[in-house]
């Protein structure tokens, strides 16, 4: 049955991390991609599963939007983005006829697709599977969590920006995680300053510290703040070699620190 195939497809995955955000535009997919690259930098084998039905952006970030997805006996074969095959991707975007097709479906069909999608990717051996989810806490998230539950997901990282509005959204995320029994690994405050491309000085455009305050309030770890690096954003927009440019960016030290905490949490879970 599909359930059995799904179990075997995820049996080689050691840890699953869901990346959640209460609203769109907080850079959740960018954080998911950067976290994957940071874990790969630490010598780990990483997969990214993009379950954002309305705006799958992971393929474009990795210049993989024209890739064809093939099937094997146990399901879809993920797309490798580097020679070493240390990062693999699977996105709903690969399955759409045209990349610009919006997925306009009612809930039950979406939920069935997500469950099948989570179960049907032949990941092989992975240290981490990063799951990029749509914004919000909808049915689709519940379907994703339920589909992954048999494989004991490691937990969730919540992405916010420094403004208080986004902070309100994260409160709902924390509640969602409690209700669905998903462990919150911590909160990442994204875009928490603007790095000048000329002098590399970091300026706070928004109020600072919303993420940290929220983490205290919710009683969950604060994983760190990631500055907005315009050069890295441009690299993403233009489809340049984000994988090579990322380690040189000012966001890298912050992400490396966040990845290290995820690794520490993972080794505590395994021991």
pLDDT tens digits along 78-137 = 999 888 889 999 988 887 766 565 566 677 777 888 888 888 899 999 999 999 988 776
**Residue with the larger pLDDT of the pair 230 and 42:** 42
Instruction: Give the predicted TM-score (pTM) of the model.
Output: 0.87
Lowest mean pLDDT among 27-41, 95-109, 161-175: 95-109
Mean pLDDT value of segment 202-208: 66
- For residue 135, the model assigns a pLDDT of 76
The reply to whether 29 sits in an annotated binding site is yes
Can you give the CATH number for the domain in which 89 is found? 3.40.50.300
- For residue 209, the model assigns a pLDDT of 65
The reply to whether 27 sits in an annotated binding site is yes
**Residue with the larger pLDDT of the pair 159 and 55:** 159
What is the distance between the alpha carbons of residues 104 and 29, in angstroms, rounded to a whole number?
Answer: 21
The reply to whether 235 sits in an annotated binding site is no
What is the distance between the alpha carbons of residues 13 and 204, in angstroms, rounded to a whole number?
Answer: 38
Mean pLDDT value of segment 221-235: 83
**Nearest-5° Cα angle at 121, 135 to 271:** 80
What is the distance between the alpha carbons of residues 17 and 133, in angstroms, rounded to a whole number?
Answer: 11
Report the chain's mean pLDDT, rounded to a whole number. 81
Lowest mean pLDDT among 29-33, 35-39, 230-234: 230-234
Mean pLDDT value of segment 191-200: 69
The reply to whether 54 sits in an annotated binding site is no
Q: Give the CA-trace dihedral at 93, 96, 101, 106, to 10 degrees.
A: -90
The reply to whether 25 sits in an annotated binding site is yes
Overall number of domains in the chain: 1
The reply to whether 196 sits in an annotated binding site is yes
Mean pLDDT value of segment 13-42: 88
- For residue 131, the model assigns a pLDDT of 93
Helical pair 107-119 and 2-9, crossing angle rounded to 10 deg: 50
Q: Give the CA-trace dihedral at 62, 65, 71, 74, to 10 degrees.
A: 40
From residue 235, give the alpha-carbon distance in Å to each of 1, 44, 64, 100, 239. 43, 24, 14, 21, 6
| Structural domain containing residue 43 | 2-270
169: pLDDT strictly greater than 70: yes
Closest CA to 155 of 130, 175, 121: 130
The reply to whether 168 sits in an annotated binding site is no
């Amino acid at each position: 049955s599909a359930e059995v195939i799904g179990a075997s497809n995820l049996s080689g995955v050691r840890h699953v991390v869901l990346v959640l955000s209460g609203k769109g535009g907080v850079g959740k997919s960018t954080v998911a991609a950067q976290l994957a690259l940071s874990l790969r930098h630490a010598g780990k084998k990483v997969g990214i599963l993009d379950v954002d039905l309305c705006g799958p952006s992971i393929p474009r970030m990795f210049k993989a939007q024209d890739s064809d997805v093939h099937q094997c006996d146990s399901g879809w074969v993920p797309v490798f983005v580097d020679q070493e095959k240390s990062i693999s991707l699977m996105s709903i975007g690969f399955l759409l006829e045209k990349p610009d097709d919006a997925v306009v479906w009612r809930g039950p069909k979406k939920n069935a697709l997500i469950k099948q999608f989570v179960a049907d990717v032949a990941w092989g051996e992975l240290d981490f599977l990063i799951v990029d989810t749509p914004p919000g806490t909808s049915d689709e998230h519940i379907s994703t969590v339920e589909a992954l539950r048999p494989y004991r997901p490691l937990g969730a990282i919540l992405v916010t920006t420094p403004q208080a509005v986004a902070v309100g959204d994260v409160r709902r995320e924390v509640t969602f995680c409690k209700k669905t029994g998903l462990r919150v690994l911590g909160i990442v405050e994204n875009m928490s300053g603007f790095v000048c491309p000329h002098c590399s000085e970091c300026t706070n455009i928004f109020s600072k510290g919303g993420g940290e305050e929220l983490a205290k309030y919710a009683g969950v770890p604060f994983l760190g703040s990631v500055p907005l690096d315009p050069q890295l954003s441009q690299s993403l927009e233009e489809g340049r070699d984000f994988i090579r440019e990322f380690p040189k960016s000012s966001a890298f030290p912050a992400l490396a620190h966040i990845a290290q905490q995820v690794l520490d949490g993972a080794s505590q879970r395994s021991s």
